[in-house]
Chains A and B, each alone.
Chain A
Amino acid sequence: MTGLAPPAVRVRPPTTPAGGRGGSLAWMALPALAVFVAFGLIPLFGVLALSFTEWDGIGDIHPAGLDSWRAVLTDPGLPHALWVTFLVMALSWAFQTPASLLIGVFLAGRQRYREILAVLYFIPLLLSSAALAITYKALLDPNFGIGPGLGIPLLAQDWLGSANLALGVVVFVVSWQFIPFHALIYQGGVRQIPVALYEAAQIDGAGRLRQFFSITLPQLKYTVITSSTLMVVGSLTFFDLIFVLTEGGPGDATRVLALDMYKRGFQANLMGPASAIAVILVLVGLALALLLRRLGGRDASASQMEGM
């Protein structure tokens, strides 16, 4: 569902003193290790290996040197797919972050009706991307959707038929599904902020907006980074939704990297180039995760102490 990035997760070092008993325990980890290696780790190296081969998905696999890479890197489809991926990533980040921040701050209040709202907000996250995509496809249909039904021409546009609109719809549907999740992360972050900070600010006569920008936002710095990392890295893996909603279209307006890989591999039967795209996907994801981690890595305690 959500792309889970390594920097988001806290790791505590093993602390239990189990002097010399590791051996008798090691076998317990083996079943999990075996299935993970077979279907996670080996495929990760496998995809790199396959990018240097030629395979149509059915017949034999032949070594092909750098052919796939040469084909992929000289194809104007790649920069386009990268650009679309970046657009989806940037736009959905820019829309989701302020919205989930606001909603998260709102949800941090402990009133009971807000808890009920939180229950409702969460429903979109339960729907599969396929269900979500076909719902919006039906909802936005220019002939049978709500636009003509309500008789509002503005809503009766060919939403998925124009390049810019289709991209907008993808960003909206993604946000519709994931804003509640990020709002929940922000809610947790806001509830960790010491109330004393606000009390002090009130005594100093700071208004609400001032309090938000001088206390809430700086205190949430790490929450913002965690949430952004999940959004950005997760956005690389929007496949199901876009596949069902637009199939990358109109033309190739919403052909993101993951979809590009699928189409090359499983529709055009060019597994070599598709594997090269997959390798690029992994590298882009890692680079982004590391970049965001670096952004937030320094002065871990500084902002927490601000104003104390």
Chain B
Amino acid sequence: MSTTLSPERGVDLDAPPEQGPGRGRGSWRHNWLGGLAGWLWLVVVVVPIYWIVVTSLKSRTIYYQENPFAPPTEPTLENYQSVIESDFARYFLNSVVVTLGAVLPAVLVSFMAAYAIVRGGAASRFLRGVNVLFLMGLAIPLQAVIIPVYLIIIRLHMYDSLLAIILPSIAFAVPLSVLVLANFIRDVPKELFESMRMDGATEWRTLWSLAFPLTRPALVTVSIYNGLTIWNGFLLPLILTQSPEQRTLPLALWTFQGEYGVNVPAVLASVVLATLPIVVLYALGRRQLLSGLTVGFGR
């Protein structure tokens, strides 16, 4: 069916022959409406992305003369150069510091909490309470509490520092991380925990030598998801920092646009540079990320 609708011939060759009652496969054969939507959406997604990349490689003068979708006749990296010269490295480094500085502790403390909730929840009312608290925490939107967070950061004399972004980021990463990790730890066969206990291992040792390696896929998922959220975070840096020295990438993009104004190619080069690390991460951990994003949904 989609053969007739597909604009690219090469891609269709990858499709396995449509036969046999493979799960779900045979039933979708003549779904032309879905196929139309699917290919249409591909165009809607790819065209702006193509435009971003192509334009970022054009010189400013050429951009205003040519068809905006034409591939660059003389590709140039001058836009990238001027973006990098505008202190981009510093903003990039700030984003790396904030992201790693928030994701590593967030995942670590969430993992410990998840382990405690799974292993001790039955016996401890306190841990059950903590679990309920984190579940409710999923419903707190960051925007709604930003004013008190701002007040707390000021009172702690942390305003305009990277730590000011890191601490609330950890707090808002904890609820979902605990939920996902706890679901994974529950899937570890109880016999394994039992045998660790028989061998006289402490909970602390069991946590690291049994639960940690077995939960590694979930830990990667949660790290990537949190990393994506924090890398792209805009509100916390906007409210909690002020000086250019503490600027993270999303905020820098926004100010770039203010500075460069109509220099569209340079603005788009900054978009590409800011997104590149995430795309690399996506390429490396795509499966983990996708399964992570849908954990608990649509099951």
Contact = CB atoms under 8 A, between A and B. Distances in A.
A271 interface: yes
A207 to B, nearest CB: 9
B25 interface: yes
Interface residues of B, number: 125
Q: Which of A22, A44, A109, A137 has the most CB of B within 10 A?
A: A109
B38 A3 contact: no
Interface in B173-207: 174-176, 178-179, 183, 186, 190, 193, 203, 207
Q: Which of A15, A107, A135 has the most CB of B within 10 A?
A: A135
A102 B15 contact: no
Interface string B36-80: 011001101110110110000000000010111100000000000
Contact of A239 (B34, B235, B275): B235
Nearest to A186: B298
> Looking at chain A's contact residues, is the secondary structure mostly helix, strand, loop, or mixed?
helix
Interface range on chain A (Cβ under 8 Å from partner): 35 or more
Interface string B144-176: 111111111000000000000001101110111
A188 B295 CA distance: 10
Contact of B37 (A26, A29, A106): A106
A1 interface: yes
Interface stretch (B82-90, B106-114, B215-223): B106-114
Contacts of B122: 14-19, 22
Nearest to B17: A111
B104 interface: no
Contacts of B228: 1, 126
Contacts of A40: 137, 140, 145, 171-172, 174-175
A8 interface: yes
Interface in B7-47: 11-12, 14-16, 18, 21-28, 30-31, 33-35, 37-38, 41-42, 44-46
Contacts of B274: 128, 131
B271 interface: yes
Contact of B67 (A12, A109, A150, A198): A150
A41 interface: yes
B253 A103 contact: no
Interface in A1-25: 1, 3-6, 8-12, 14-25
A127 B275 contact: yes
A249 B23 CA distance: 49
A207 B138 CA distance: 42
Interface in A96-137: 99, 102-103, 105-114, 116-117, 119-124, 126-131, 134-137
Interface string B257-293: 1000010100110010011001100100010001001
Nearest to B108: A31
Interface in A142-183: 143-146, 149-150, 176, 179-181
A57 B239 CA distance: 11
Interface stretch (A70-78, A86-94, A278-286): A278-286
A176 B69 CA distance: 19
Contacts of B31: 105-106, 109, 208
Contacts of B112: 28-29, 31-32
B248 to A, nearest CB: 10
Contacts, number: 381
Contact of B69 (A27, A39, A46, A150): A150
A244 interface: yes
A81 interface: no
Given A131-B275, A150-B69, A141 B264 contact: yes
Contacts of A99: 37, 41
Contacts of A180: 45
B143 A237 contact: yes
B275 A126 contact: yes
Interface of A: 1, 3-6, 8-12, 14-29, 31-33, 35-36, 38-44, 46-47, 50, 57, 99, 102-103, 105-114, 116-117, 119-124, 126-131, 134-139, 141, 143-146, 149-150, 176, 179-181, 184-186, 188-193, 195, 198-199, 208, 211, 223, 226-227, 230, 233, 236-237, 239-240, 243-244, 258, 261-262, 265-266, 271, 274-275, 278-279, 281-282, 285-286, 289
For the complex of A and B, 5 pairs with smallest distance between CB atoms: A22-B124, A14-B121, A46-B148, A128-B232, A25-B120
21 contacts: A4-B138, A11-B135, A11-B179, A21-B203, A29-B127, A43-B149, A44-B140, A47-B148, A50-B148, A106-B28, A110-B16, A113-B12, A123-B49, A123-B282, A124-B49, A134-B253, A149-B67, A150-B69, A176-B48, A195-B23, A195-B27
